[in-house]
Structure 1
């Protein structure tokens, strides 16, 4: 057995300072992602622009998703430190602009700037952890980062509801202290090695500016179409179809451009990332995981409000079993992968649990007991949580360490892109089934309110429970059938994930950390590289010892 096989990871105090700062900024970015949901009605009342609420909420999502691959390439060229500081600074700047907005346009711009910073933060957090921690132990250390983000996402709506009482601007200002503390620690201690170009001009030449511009424009067009569809315009409207079609054409053109070494010598998303079967499968799994997570988060409140008559606040409380178990499941999965070195059994178990949980959800109706839906949520949380920290190391296992940034940014993009589809697909299914079954509703006024995409909005404010008994029973039955169809449709995506896992290959998770972006000591030396070199020397010496 070589010395490399006996290596263990023992981080020092500087690592822990950086690690805690990463957890803080992960928490702040996740809070900002969800805090606006409960505060949005108060914000639009105070600043106006109730007709633009969809852009106040989603400009953030569009901006954060579209720029993720760009931050991956930039971190390869400029190093990890400068892009990380810039991302946090952009995030803080956007928070300040949104909090100080005097009109709805300024608020939307602030939210978009926040989104750009957040997209960089989520990508660079994972990249930095991968630079500091050997592959074998990455899941273990990614777990608390994900946990901090999950806690922020869970507390965001609660904080939004509480802070709006003191003034809606605090909904955005609350992230500034976390950003400031993270910036302080990063500026002082985040000293990571990277190959330095002689000038910024040469760095900019290396950056794939045309490719990134095409990618950002294409993804933005697709997301704009998906977000407007069924909300601002009907799905058949050219306002929806044109941006989606143009975005898809642009996305395909982007990948064709990336494959040309003449036009694109240093691609943002290198085609070689897809040549490893396991890595390619896990990219798809990350999309499915993000989509199914959003599907669950989107439809459980709908179930509670429609069939149980719960208020928005109560429906949020009722989803606590899922949110409370999600992050512990991720951390346990990360530790198990670090201990065993195997990810494939965890992926099989995860998607099997999700498929079972979604199938059980299809049995829910207005009479389902609390114990029933709590148990179903726990099953889903165990499955989804297991994928949070085990997919990225599996992607990286089949790729060299030099591709860590590109692979990590693409993984983050697919996961975030899945979030949008996790709302779009179930919404289409729900509205389709509601429209198809409207003939069963005897009240013509109720039929009109629920038709053409009005099914979700009709639930708000407890409208169903205030209906006459006969109409209420009819409406509840129609929502029960529509929700069941949506849950059944989601099983297909979970089963797709399960069968894709069968195509994965076991690849040994490296215990050595051979990276060009290691943590420098106070004199500027690369500590991880020195450790790996020391192991190599020991291996050579042991091979030269005669028996």
Structure 2
């Protein structure tokens, strides 16, 4: 009876047929899969480093190229461009295969790095960062898609965990690398990507030989791209991101029409996009509504959004604690944040191993959000006199929650969907994750700035209050350490109270994620792998040579279904 109930819950294509062979044999990656996987980790590392590398070096860069007033765009143009094209990358991976879009993404990232490194004015720098971001978005999405192509869902956990870990490390060490390179030659912040991308491009060209079903003509392939949908989606998301990132900045209060208008237009455009995706006009949607119809997949999208919110808030406001309350330099605050990034690795690895061994993901989601709630709750107890052991231990607990959820959520999101939807679902998943990162920074900033304003009465000096009000506390973190007492103690107390309230907000977010996990149904993770985008067993030339075919013969034609 139980077996019958499971069959009713899961589509026929998703029911795992267990055989003695399935139980006795596990997935064994070939050397080509290992090569591709290591290159994907390297690409993920470089893309994540560049998402944060500019933060500590921004004062040095703006002194040389100008544009101090446009510092927000120098930092966030990368984030804009990285996030909005991700669903499009998922769709074109279905149309043009995996390798060619990956080449384009690497080329864009490399080109943008070269332009940014060689820039002599702020406009060129922002343009370079934008092109970098367009490439980075493809690197994130296509890395996950290719792993799903190469590895059955039951065994994806460790591979996803490794890519996540390298991204987390890259985002954490980015400010440290940026600060170090800025002291020598800031242009190498960007130029360092060029040789690394060259190695990655060569390795992918040699090892990634993926099958896919080609369109009969280029015109037919291009006609399949959802141009209208993306023409609605990309400007809408840009408007929303503009409102979320610029809200609360100087000249852009949250009640200003300059913030309200783009947010309203963006939301309306987003609604129009989803209406278009479900209409007959859209023949091949880039974000089909069927992705959200199964409750396990819908829960997966929501959980990765919430986990990303918590992760980004932690990444933004733990450094504020170190700089404003502990009084360390920006560079040392990055070093103090390393326990969070490094702890993700073992927890992600444990989650991947557990997922591969048992096929269970709901316990990992519950445990992950529980640890996140405990970790962020413990952050709220941090004070000026908190010990090193306390803030290191609390980071490990919070990082454990992130590692578990991030590792287990993509396999669970894809479990209820057919393999043919892997690319568009992964593009949507990656976008939702990036949207969560933006919301995490925004939610944390709103909560923090509001609490600072509420406690400014603790500061006696009116001049200091003016520096702290309306978001000044965030941008001025670390600038009050030289104040004499009692002013210094008053400022630190304001930071402590504001951070305490901010962390409690994210305890609530983690608890919401814990409850969402109850919405999931358990869907069996497949051990077999039936995808038309799988790795070709051997390159066409190698296979023909082994069969004794003269590959130099003009009659010998390459296979049309191998990328």
Distance 1:174 1:452 in 2: 37
Verify: 1:177 aligned to 2:191, yes or no. Answer: no
Structure 1, unaligned runs of 5 or more: 528-547
TM norm structure 1: 0.93
Q: 2:274 aligns with which of 255, 264, 288?
A: 255
| Kept after mapping to 2: 8 A contact 1:72/1:124 | yes
2:533 aligns with 517
Paired with 2:103 and 2:327, the residues of 1 have a C-alpha distance of: 46
CA-CA distance at 1:199 after TM superposition: 1.0
Q: 1:10 aligns with which of 24, 28, 42?
A: 28
CA distance in 2 between counterparts of 1:434 and 1:249 reads 33
The Cα shift of 1:201 comes to: 0.7
**d(CA) in 2 for partners of 1:523 and 1:504?**
41
1:469 is displaced (CA, Å) by: 1.4
Displacement after TM superposition at 1:487 (Å): 0.8
Name which of structure 1's ranges 136-145 and 389-398 shifts more when overlaid on structure 2: 136-145
How far apart, in 2, do the equivalents of 1:497 and 1:334 lie?
20
| Counterpart Cα distance in 2 of 1:479 and 1:102 | 38
> 2:241 aligned with 1:223, yes or no?
yes
Matched residue, 1:353? 371
1:508 aligns with 2:524: yes
User: Pick from 316, 324, 329: which aligns with 1:306?
Assistant: 324
Q: CA deviation at 1:21?
A: 1.5
Deviation at 1:379, TM superposition (A): 0.6
Find out whether 1:494 has 2:513 as its counterpart. no
Match of 2:354 in 1: 336
Q: Give the conservation status (yes or no) of the 8 Å contact 1:7–1:512.
A: no
What corresponds to 1:540 in structure 2? none
1:242 aligns with 2:261: yes
CA contact (8 A) 2:305 2:435 kept: yes
Change over 3 Å in CA distance of 1:177–1:355 after alignment to 2: same
- Equivalent positions of 1:68-107 (< 5 A) are 68-107=86-125
Question: Quick one: distance in 2 between partners of 1:28 and 1:320?
Answer: 17
Contact 1:353-1:383 at 8 Å conserved across structures? yes
Q: 2:153, 2:52 → 1: CA distance?
A: 31
SS at 1:164 equivalent:
helix
Cα distance in 2, alignment partners of residues 25 and 457 from structure 1: 31
> Are positions 1:481 and 2:500 aligned together?
no
- Deviation sequence 1:359-415 (CA, Å, 0-9, x none): 111111112121111111111011111112210000011111111011111111111
Distance in 2 separating the partners of 1:468 and 1:149: 41
Q: Distance in 2 between matches of 1:49 and 1:106?
A: 11
Whole-Å separation in 1 of the counterparts to 2:386 and 2:183: 35
Query: Unaligned stretches of 5+ in structure 2?
Result: 1-17, 544-563
Could you say which residue in structure 2 is the equivalent of 1:535? none
Partner of 1:141: 159
Q: Is the 8 A contact 2:176 2:335 kept in 1?
A: no
Q: Is the 8 A contact 2:175 2:331 kept in 1?
A: no
Structure 2 counterpart SS, 1:264: coil
TM-score (norm: length of structure 2): 0.91
Mapped to 1, the partners of 2:492 and 2:160 lie a distance apart of 42
In the TM superposition, what are the counterparts of 1:441-456 in structure 2 within 5 Å? 441-456=459-474
- Which secondary structure does the structure 1 equivalent of 2:477 belong to? helix
**Mapping for residues 111-122 of structure 1, pairs under 5 Å:** 111-122=129-140
User: 1:207 aligns to what?
Assistant: 225
Deviates more, 1:199-208 or 1:8-17: 8-17
Deviations 1:449-487 (A, max 9, x none): 1112211123233x1x32231222222222211111101
